[in-house]
Amino acid sequence: MAKFHTTDLSKFSFLVTGGAGFIGSNIAEYLLSHNAKKVVVYDNLATGFEDNIRPFLSLPGFRFIKDDICDLNACKNAFEGIDYVFHQAALGSVPRSIENPIATHNANASGFLSVLVAAKNAGVKRIVYASSSSVYGDIQDSPKQEKKIGKPLSPYAVSKLVNEFYADIFSRTYNMEIIGLRYFNIFGPRQNPKGAYAAAIPLFIDGLLNNTPVYINSDGEQSRDFTYVENAVQGNIKAMFCTDKKALGSVFNIALGDSISVNQLFNTLKKITGASLSPAYRDERKGDVKNSMADISKAAHILGYSPSVNVEDGLRQTVEWFNNYFRK
Which residue numbers are catalytic? 156
Q: At what angle do helices 72-79 and 111-122 cross, to 10 degrees?
A: 40
Contact 43, 19 (CB under 8 A): yes
Distance, in Å, from the CA atom of 277 to the CA atom of 197, rounded to the nearest integer, reads 22
Measured at the CA of 161, the angle between CA 24 and CA 80, to 5 degrees, comes to: 45
Q: What is the DSSP string of 139-154?
A: ---SSB-TT------S
DSSP state, 294? B
Q: Could you say which DSSP state residue 106 is in?
A: I
Q: Which residues does 147 contact at the CB level (< 8 Å), separation at least 6?
A: none
Cα of 301 vs its chain's centroid, Å: 21
CB atoms within 10 A of CB 280: 10
Go through 37-47 and write b for each residue having 16 or more CB atoms within 10 A of its CB, e for each that does not: ebbbbbbbeeb
